Chain A
């Protein structure tokens, strides 16, 4: 029954769904290239008549927008972009590297602990606002508050279970016999894992890295409560534009939102065949 062609009605339904799915993204892109006069015009302007890149320019040169008679962009987004790239990349690297060892350990050496998935799941369920509370207190005492080291530590804490569990599902897919064969060839256990197992899950490693990066890059609340003046990330900067100027800078914010979104769209598409597995902690294999 699954080989029929799409009927006309079904095609129409899908077309409408497609429009609904893509419209918000379209609106965001359009707003990012609107000059200030079009930002919040009434009636709404759907496609700017004079598209401009001034919003993107303003992100890195706050005074650029003044030629349109708009002032009040307090801060350049350069620090936020650099901060996001730095913190997300380093946290992703640590999380995946540590997670890889845990994955091999859990998959190959741990005797069926049924509780482990539940522990990891409950870690994911804990409201971030609550995890943030002890972090803020501990970090204030050890001087890690408002520092990238602290932020990265939190990111690793949050994404490590995820990385380990997803990688475990890839290691599980490999038959143990492959490693046993390598050991019969005279390799030690550790060598067998590092030179046989790891290269064989390259694809999974890449997908996990992308997904962990997406999680870190998107993270908002921890960065919000852990940053005062030293650390900057794109999501926090985006939220700051709203509060600081009560929504008068639609275009500039949209430009930053587009910058934030692009790497994730590209990365997400690259790993779409592993997305289902990643989003379900390896519960579903595609």
Chain B
């Protein structure tokens, strides 16, 4: 690929340009239809339909004991108002997920950027090290959760090292602050490599001429980084944050393996809460309403993140 890690928006033109005398417009459209049909059929059947069912359900009081969905009584927005006004556990889970996301994403960004900058230098064994640093990303979330659950055991290696360093160690899963920290450490370990990967490909695509120009004009390396490289990295940084925020809202597997949301509900993420609502308490309709609130919230969040770079992303690459 030429240079660019920029968003792959291209001016879209219907394919191919009409040829005189053959009137291919109608035909090309039908071929396009044909190609897209299987995908649309599958999406309609297994994605759109369930979502519509869930949306309808979120306005009812349905639970599995009430028989079929059509027997449930329609309650309007009662589930939603209940969630937003009275359900402190829901609101806390939302807040907690946001705090977790904020802390993890910032740590992942800073460490990923640091590592990516180091990788712009010359050294031997770079490609081997590159692979090594990507390892965590390829481990299953469940396995990551189990591994860190072992690491943070009272007899585990983390406490062992702390003891050797003279600290007292901790009961990681019995104290809410430590449990919270354990979840964040796990999350940061798992996903810093993604920031590293994205930022490194961004750095690799930064053109050299503006940098040379800045150096000739007398900029220090710090200034070059701050005023030349960082602004050019901005779209890539935003992409990284958007992708990661979408995933972190769904944080479930690792927490399930590590703490199950405990102690108490001190590490309960929004996904874990919805899971418990739906599959432990069988409050399916209520859980669906919670899910739609989360969806609206995350869409808003992504929109907010994308706003400052939207023009830049939709314009053609520079």
Q: Which residues from chain A sit less than 8 Å from chain B, CB to CB? A: 1-6, 10-11, 13-14, 17-18, 20-25, 27-28, 31, 40-44, 46, 98-99, 101-102, 104-106, 108-112, 114, 121-138, 141, 153-154, 156-157, 160-161, 164, 169, 172-173, 176, 179-180, 183, 189-190, 193, 214, 217-218, 220-221, 225, 235, 238-239, 242, 247, 250, 253-254, 257, 260-261, 264-265, 267-269, 272, 275-276, 279-286
Whether A43 and B160, one on each chain, are in contact in the complex, defined by CB atoms closer than 8 angstroms, is: yes
0 or 1 for each of B226-270: is its CB under 8 Å from A? (1 = yes):
000000000010011011001001101100110000000000001
Q: Does A14 lie within 8 Å of B118, measured CB to CB?
A: yes
Known: A108-B15, A189-B31, A264-B138. A284 touches B151 (CB 8 A): no
Label chain B's interface by main secondary structure: helix
Bound CA span A38–B194, Å: 34
User: CB distance A193 to B35 under 8 Å?
Assistant: yes
Task: List A contacts of B181 (CB < 8 A).
Answer: none
Determine how close the nearest CB of chain B comes to the CB of A3; give it in whole angstroms. Answer: 6
| Set of chain B residues within 8 Å of A104, measured between Cβ atoms | 35
> In the complex, A283 Cα to B224 Cα: how many Å?
26
Nearest CB in chain B to that of A155: its residue = B46
Q: Which residues of B contact A (CB under 8 A)?
A: 1, 4-8, 10-16, 27-29, 31-40, 42-43, 46-47, 49-51, 53-54, 57, 68-69, 111, 114-115, 118, 120-123, 129-144, 146-151, 153, 155-157, 159-160, 163, 189, 193-194, 197-198, 201-204, 208, 211, 215, 221, 224, 236, 239-240, 242-243, 246, 249-250, 252-253, 256-257, 270-272, 274-275, 278-279, 284, 287-288, 290-292, 294-295, 298-299, 302, 314
Give CA–CA (A28, B189) in the complex, Å. 15
**How many A-B contacts at CB < 8 Å in the complex?**
332
Instruction: Report the minimal beta-carbon distance from B143 to chain A, rounded to whole angstroms.
Output: 4
Residue in B46, B149, B202 whose beta carbon sits within 8 Å of that of A284 in the complex: B202
Question: How far is the CB of B297 from the nearest CB of chain A, in Å?
Answer: 9
Least CB distance, B13 to chain A, in whole angstroms: 8
Question: Which of B15, B118, B211, B279 has a CB less than 8 Å from the CB of A109?
Answer: B15
Partner of B43, one of A11, A110, A160, A285: A160
Does B287 contact A130, Cβ atoms closer than 8 Å? Answer: yes
- List the B residue with the shortest CB-CB distance to A102: B39
Q: Report the Cα distance A247→B145, complex, angstroms.
A: 13
What are the residues of chain B within 8 A of A154 when measuring CB–CB?
46
Residue from A17, A164, A176, A238 with most neighbouring chain B CB atoms (10 Å) = A17
30 interchain pairs (CB within 8 A)?
Answer: A1-B221, A21-B135, A28-B147, A44-B157, A102-B39, A102-B40, A104-B35, A105-B34, A105-B36, A105-B39, A128-B250, A129-B279, A132-B279, A133-B54, A137-B57, A137-B284, A157-B46, A157-B50, A160-B43, A160-B47, A176-B15, A190-B31, A218-B141, A220-B252, A225-B275, A235-B142, A242-B149, A268-B137, A276-B201, A280-B239
Among the interface residues B132, B139, B239, B284, which one has the most CB atoms of the partner chain A within 10 A? B139
Complex Cα distance, B10 from A264, in Å, reads: 33
Known contacts A133-B287, A176-B16, A27 near B151 by CB under 8 Å: yes
Question: Which residue among B138, B149, B287 has the maximum number of chain A CB atoms within 10 Å of its CB?
Answer: B138
Nearest CB in chain A: distance from B26 CB, A: 12
- Residue picked from B12, B121, B143, most chain A C-beta under 10 Å: B143
Question: Which of B120, B160, B250 sits near A127, CB closer than 8 Å?
Answer: B250
Contact B252 A221 (CB under 8 A): yes
Name the residue of chain A whose CB is nearest to the CB of B285. A133
Shortest distance between the CB of B142 and any CB in chain A (Å): 4
* Docked-complex contact A254 and B150, CB < 8 angstroms: yes
Report how far A156 CA is from B43 CA in the complex, Å: 9
Known: A40-B153, A141-B68, A221-B275. A21 touches B295 (CB 8 A): no
Residues of B within 8 A of A18 (CB): 129, 132-133
Taking the closest CB of chain A, its distance from the CB of B217, in whole angstroms, is: 13
B146 & A253 in contact (Cβ 8 Å cutoff)? yes
Query: Could you tell me if B53 and A105 are in contact, using CB atoms closer than 8 angstroms?
Result: no
How long is the Cα–Cα vector from A65 to B131 in the complex, in angstroms? 35
Please tell me if the beta carbons of A42 and B155 are within 8 angstroms of each other in the complex: yes
* B-chain residues with CB within 8 Å of residue A286 when the two chains form the complex: 1, 5, 201, 204
A276→B201 CA distance, assembly (Å): 8
Given contacts A27-B150, A125-B299, A128-B252, contact A134 B36 (CB under 8 A): no
Instruction: Tell me the smallest distance from the CB of B156 to a CB of chain A, in Å.
Output: 6
Q: Which residues of A contact B287 (CB under 8 A)?
A: 129-130, 133
Of the residues A5, A101, A125, contact of B121 by C-beta under 8 Å: A5
A8–B27 Cα distance when bound, in Å, is 64
Known: A42-B155, A268-B134, A279-B198. A125 touches B295 (CB 8 A): yes
Decide: A22 and B38 in contact? CB cutoff 8 A: no
Q: A27-B150, A98-B42, A130-B290 are in contact. Are A137 and B69 (CB under 8 A)?
A: yes
Distance in angstroms from A67 CB to nearest chain B CB is 23
Flag if B189 contacts A264 (CB, 8 Å): no
In the assembled complex, the CB of A272 is this many whole angstroms from the nearest CB of chain B, namely 6
